[in-house]
Homo-oligomer: A and B are copies of this chain.
Amino acid sequence: MNPDAIKRSLAGSGLRSTPQRYAVMAFLMKQTSHPTAAEIFEAVNRVDPRSSRATIYNNLRDLVQAGLVREVAMEGRAARFDATGTRHHHFICDRCGKIEDMDWYAVPRPAAASLGKRVLRECELICRGLCTQCASRRAPTQDSGLKERINTWKKK
């Protein structure tokens, strides 16, 4: 996306276009990974060191509120973010914890009986297993169960 389009989308959400805020948005948009606030802080300041830690957090909060960025649902401690460009699902690797985008496809909605009086807005998918890299590094053996997988991952 070009600079002006980003600036317009900020303005369209009632957010001023500051160099710091622009940098966070632009970085997330060209990212295919799902960086933490700390990673965004580093990357953004490596290019142009004008953002404080608080500003990164402030801007992530504002961009999420504006719907331009989302926090990814997963079980780690540090929040991870992606720009809400195109709709997609996620794949989380059991072994290395990496979060990858998966092509979006409509998922059958829960049965009305199961839904009850809840109002459904969307269904997102979290696929789990081994990422390409981890799958090739060692084929999962029969006794390599959840325990082993979580162990490996937690040990970083």
Contact = CB atoms under 8 A, between A and B. Distances in A.
Contacts of A123: 125-128
B103 A118 contact: no
Copies of this chain in its oligomeric complex = 2
A150 B67 CA distance: 9
A121 interface: yes
Nearest to A72: B75
Tier of interface size on chain A: 35 or more
B114 A110 contact: no
A132 B150 contact: no
A151 B100 CA distance: 28
Interface of A: 13, 64-67, 71-75, 77, 79, 89, 91-92, 94, 100, 102-103, 105, 107-111, 114-132, 135-136, 140, 145-147, 150-151, 154
